A and B are shown apart, each in its own frame.
Chain A
Amino acid sequence: MPFYRAHVLVCNGTPCILKGSRAVQTALVDEIKKKGLENEIKVVETGCLGISEVGPVMVVYPEGITYCGVTVNDVPTIVEEHLLKGRVVERLVYKERTASHVSAAAASRSREQRVVLKNVGSIDPTSIEEYIAVGGYEAMGKALTQMTPLEVIKAVKDSGLRGRGGAAFPTGLKWELTADAPGENKTIVCNADEGEPGNFKDRLILEGDPHSIVEAMIIAGYAIGANKGYVYIRGEYHQSVSHLERAIAVAREMELLGEDILGSRFNFDIEVFKGAGAYICGEETALLESLEGTRGESRMKPPYPPTSGLHGQPTVINNVETLANIPQIIANGAEWFASIGTEKSKGTKIFSPCGDVLYPGVYEVPFGTTMREVIYEMAGGIKSGKDLKAVLIGGPSGICISKEDLDRQFAFEDLPPGAGALIVIDEDKCIVDIMQNCAKFFLHESCGQCVPCREGTKRLYELFTWWQGGAGSPGDLALAQSLGDVMSVSAKCGLGQFAATAFRTSLPLFEEEYRAHVVDRVCPSGVCKMNNGCESEVV
């Protein structure tokens, strides 16, 4: 490995890319070549550095100087002044208190506790050397050479880790069930089919720290006795796919994947499987169908995947964020992990506030943090100084809450976080309009297999559309409510069971507003057209 005297990290998080970080990076590489510094200075592309509101952002090491708002035109100056002459370009330096929004961002960072995201933004996700330099693959080594599979499972159980994809099933128990189930070809699947609107955390992990997923899957495979792993990843996540494929290829080259890993006689390999655009494939049995090459239609449960999953064999399916915790748990011990969070909810959770907040983004906090802290202190509160109306926790399939609940804590025993999406809605928005949009989503994404969901999502969408057009009738609210109740108990899978949850939980909170639409045929926020159903979209 050549020795570099300086490293420049260029943020390649989505917000920075949108602000032109790619062009800046290309210009930087060119300029460094022009000055003949390519053997002294290394340009590294990294995941989100967490201050994307002032992007494009780059950090120069060893000094650790952060430049923000860098344009292509600034690049020659930075190279000439800083990299060549060692003089910091003051005007571009990110100073925490120069602007209020920057200090807010800095403050929010200090409240964060990064376990899962610890490497995101600080290492080059395309370099295995950097991952190893920060302790990567040590947990794998420890598990494979010093622990028995049973001990690994016990550590995960003792840590109290529960699934981060929304269902919150205890991870260690899932592994144990799978390890104990009879079957020759066990499989570990990483569910990276992040599709619930409002969630964009898995993307950050996959793009910013792909090796952590590779490492976690090896450990999981060892624990449950699987020799094969799949990452089922959204077809739209091009960069995640390429970073992960690269990570796997390099791990294979270094013999961290393959046969007899670290002389442990354990064989394991991982394949990336690209989804093809179907939200339902985030549901684990639909995902398995898709992996087997068919339409992603959910299966009847039980049997559950730990006993009968991929091709009828015992299978563990874990969310990306869940897996990203594993190397940390093995490396630092179950006790350390269990010391974070609350009594019943261990560890941290990543939240992705979006919608009407000032700084949408991805924030990792310990369980027990209140919603007010996440929305107001970290995400900067509501845009344009407006008031908060409602939050959809976990996305359209989650529950709807109002500002009354702001001081509740995120924890499984208080306010369950779902997958972590917080769709924040300000006072100007209309609740019926939002629900109609949610209903449209489910109508489109229903796999169509069972009647309560296929027909129910359609009827709900119709009802909301009528209300928006001023064509509701007085009995509609009760009708929608009972429809939602029926769907929740009779649909075959989670999609249909939770498709009406947001509406059902919002009804008591905003009953007056619903009544105004349905009975008086007016929209208090002036969003709905109330044109007697004319112009309403036909599906």
Chain B
Amino acid sequence: MEQKQCSCCKSHQGTSGGYSEVIRSFERKPGNLIPALHAVQAAAGYLSEEAMLEVAEWLNVPVSDVYGTATFYTLFATKPKGKYIVRLCDSPPCHIEGSNTIMAAITEELGIKPGETTEDGNFTFEIVSCLGLCGVAPAIMVNEDVYGNLSPEMIGDIFLKYRKKES
């Protein structure tokens, strides 16, 4: 985090965009850190610096630990992400079944490389480890939706569905 701020600083309050209540719904104990981060991310889309400061203060956890934890786990985002997160598995079973070709198809369809977000803010593309969908490899998830037994030709149709929703 670029900006230095002590955890007792109250100046960040009031800018919270709906997550303060969420944080306050948790019992104030350090063990609630991961559930609280899940909840904040669900409410605000990502874990902003302000949100992490507030979580730290509420749960009585050092800010450095909150940041350390938030950046350790791949499901947590400390920067805003697209509305739809596209997760492509590239672990061995999917790799063997051609996840490379799916990666190329998604890159072409969305015009972004893994790790990037489309300009309209709709899609973020990520390469991840096994999703437990190896029985239908190669597989992707778009938010909570699961797609498997993929071939590159199927990618266009999948995204059409989400594009329609957004237009």
Contact = CB atoms under 8 A, between A and B. Distances in A.
Interface of A: 14-15, 17-18, 194-200, 203, 234-238, 273-279, 290-296, 352, 354-356, 360-362, 392, 395-396, 421, 423, 425, 429, 434, 437-438, 440-441, 444-445, 447
B146 A17 contact: yes
Given A200-B132, A277-B73, A423-B92, 11 more contacts: A14-B135, A14-B146, A15-B148, A15-B149, A199-B134, A292-B31, A293-B31, A392-B92, A437-B92, A440-B90, A441-B92
Given A235-B75, A295-B68, A429-B96, A274 B135 contact: no
Interface string B77-98: 0000000000100111111110
A296 B76 CA distance: 14
A365 B91 CA distance: 26
Interface of B: 30-35, 37-38, 59, 61, 65, 68-69, 72-76, 87, 90-97, 128-137, 141, 144, 146-149
A293 B33 contact: yes
A313 to B, nearest CB: 13
A293 B135 contact: no
Nearest to A425: B96
Nearest to B97: A355
A56 B134 CA distance: 19
Q: Which of A291, A296, A354 has the most CB of B within 10 A?
A: A354
B129 A445 contact: yes
B147 A278 contact: no
Given A18-B146, A278-B73, A278-B74, A234 B132 contact: yes
Given A236-B75, A293-B30, A352-B135, A273 B96 contact: no
Contacts of A199: 130, 132, 134
A354 B31 contact: no
A292 B34 CA distance: 9
B16 to A, nearest CB: 21
Q: Which 6 residue pairs spanning A and B have beta carbons closest together?
A: A276-B73, A197-B91, A293-B33, A277-B74, A277-B75, A197-B130
Contacts of B134: 197-200, 352, 354-355, 360, 421, 423
Given A14-B146, A200-B134, A276-B75, A292 B92 contact: no
Contacts of B31: 291-293
A396 B96 contact: no
A441 B131 CA distance: 13
A434 B97 CA distance: 11
Contacts of A438: 92
Given A17-B146, A293-B33, A355 B129 contact: no
Contact of B96 (A274, A294, A434): A434
A355 B93 contact: yes
A361 B135 contact: yes
A275 B69 CA distance: 12
A195 B61 CA distance: 28
Contacts of B72: 278, 295-296, 447
Given A198-B93, A294-B33, A425-B96, A360 B135 contact: yes
A395 B114 CA distance: 25
A441 B129 contact: yes
Contact of A356 (B30, B32, B96): B96
Nearest to A272: B35
A216 to B, nearest CB: 21
Nearest to B89: A197
Given A235-B75, A392-B92, A203 B69 contact: no
Given A198-B93, A429-B96, A293 B32 contact: yes
A444 B129 contact: yes
Given A203-B132, A278-B74, A291-B31, A354 B146 contact: no
Q: Which of B33, B35, B65, B134 has the most CB of A within 10 A?
A: B134
A423 B96 CA distance: 9
A18 B150 CA distance: 10
B146 A293 contact: no
19 contacts: A15-B148, A197-B91, A198-B91, A198-B92, A236-B87, A237-B132, A276-B37, A276-B73, A279-B129, A290-B34, A293-B32, A293-B59, A296-B72, A352-B135, A360-B135, A360-B137, A421-B134, A434-B96, A441-B130
Contacts of B65: 294
A381 to B, nearest CB: 16
Contacts of B95: 434, 437
Contacts of A434: 92, 95-96
A18 B93 CA distance: 18
